[in-house]
Amino acid sequence: MLETLLQLPDDPILGLMAAYRKDPNPLKIDLGVGVYKDETGNTPVLEAVKQAQLHHIQTETTKTYIGPPGSPGFGTLIEALILGADHPVITAGRTNTLQTPGGCGALRAGAELIKRCNAGATVWVSNPTWANHIPLMGDTGLQIKEYPYYDRATASIQFEAMIATLEQLGPNDVVLLHGCCHNPCGADLNLEQWQQVAELAKARGFLPLVDLAYQGLGDGLEEDAAGLRILAAAVPEMLITASCSKNFGLYRERTGAIIAISSSPVARDITHSQLCNVVRAIYSMPPAHGAALVEIILSSQELTALWNSELTAMRNRINDLRRLLVEKIEARGIQQDFSFITRQKGMFSFLGVSPEQVRQLKADNSIYFVESSRINVAGINAGNIDYLVDSLAKVL
């Protein structure tokens, strides 16, 4: 039976990783892989995480299963981190949260839940969106369509076109929104725009699904969740998927969550039972370790403060790199306008060069990023930024 399978092409990002590792050029730069890197090019283990791990080792008493919903304590703390402990949907008892294997597990669980509610539903994703959104949602059988979002020519959000599309939607539609630090373009909605989307979701009846993968890496923990909170306060139902990979640095621990907001506590309990049944059929129960560390950190004022300071340093480094890159490009005499990079948030931006120029940078200069021109800003550092800018000047 397996002999009938056909070879599939490598995932673009994973293929870049392999090519980068094999490249002997000592000047090579990896701007493709979507993980945070420090000034030395390492993805560090946060000190808050290290201390939480020590505490966990000393206090853990069992390795038994934790059940399909995961840790209740983790769920409560993640809800408070994302929505705010006093958000109306929490105080009204309308939320339930399941711990998942990363943000990907949350998205897939959300897609399966949507399919149970309405197998004919259409999931609308931004153009562009994170590439894995489409298989994670679409492989369940849900139809995927795109709404306008980013104008490459002006490096800005096409908000009027986005709203014009959303105005045509209704109760059979799900709209996937990036909570902050849009991947891949880095262009985020402002609070007025979030308010307009919230009013439209309430009026038209479509279900918002907000993917919050980078809370704290844009403007701050509270600021990055502000738009999502506006939306949650306006609509009767909503799904939120979240990842602890980036802001806690727990990439390989696969720690995430799905928050379902229902219209009432009764509907919440029904949704909870369905979500537990969904995940039981997919992965049965989530891994415990990463969520245990997050729970330890968020349960401790001291560790929360330490984590927040480390997250602030990561965020400031990314924002400083954005400004420095634009300054270096301007100083190099490159005429093309790259100032949009300083206005965008998070680790990613489109550099705005052609696929041919991306291939040339890879072939001639060993600079690796995907042909859409999405770069991971965190892959830049003091040791490679001048080489990057000089190489960019050559292809332009």
Alpha-carbon distance 297 to 55, whole Å?
10
Instruction: Single out the catalytic residue among 124, 130, 194, 307.
Output: 130
**Tell me, what's the pLDDT at 33?**
86
CA distance 358 to 356: 5
Q: What is the pLDDT of residues 117-141, one digit of tens each?
A: 999 999 999 999 999 999 999 999 9
Q: What is the pLDDT of residue 37?
A: 96
Reported pTM = 0.96
CA distances from 64 to 67, 208, 250, 288 (A): 9, 35, 22, 10
Catalytic site residue 328? no
DSSP 84-127: -TT-HHHHTT-EEEEEEEHHHHHHHHHHHHHHHH-TT-EEEEEE
Q: Which long-range contacts (CB under 8 A, 24 or more apart) does 195-200 make?
A: 195/230, 196/163, 197/163, 197/166, 197/231, 198/230, 198/231, 198/233, 198/234, 198/235, 199/234, 200/163, 200/166, 200/167
What pLDDT does residue 9 have?
A: 84
A 10 A CB-CB count for 344 gives 21
Distance separating alpha carbons of residues 150 and 135, to the nearest angstrom:
21
Gap between the Cα atoms of 178 and 211, Å rounded: 5
246 is catalytic: yes
For the chain, which residues score pLDDT lower than 70? none
Reply yes or no on whether 211 is catalytic: yes
Which pLDDT belongs to residue 15? 83
Whole-number pLDDT of residue 237: 98
- Of the candidates 124, 194, 224, 246, the residue annotated as catalytic is 246
pLDDT at residue 8, rounded to an integer = 87
Q: Which residue in 37, 211, 224, 345 is the catalytic one?
A: 211
What pLDDT shows up at residue 13? Answer: 81
Domains of the chain: 9-44+316-395 (3.90.1150.10), 65-299 (3.40.640.10)
Q: State residue 83's pLDDT score.
A: 98
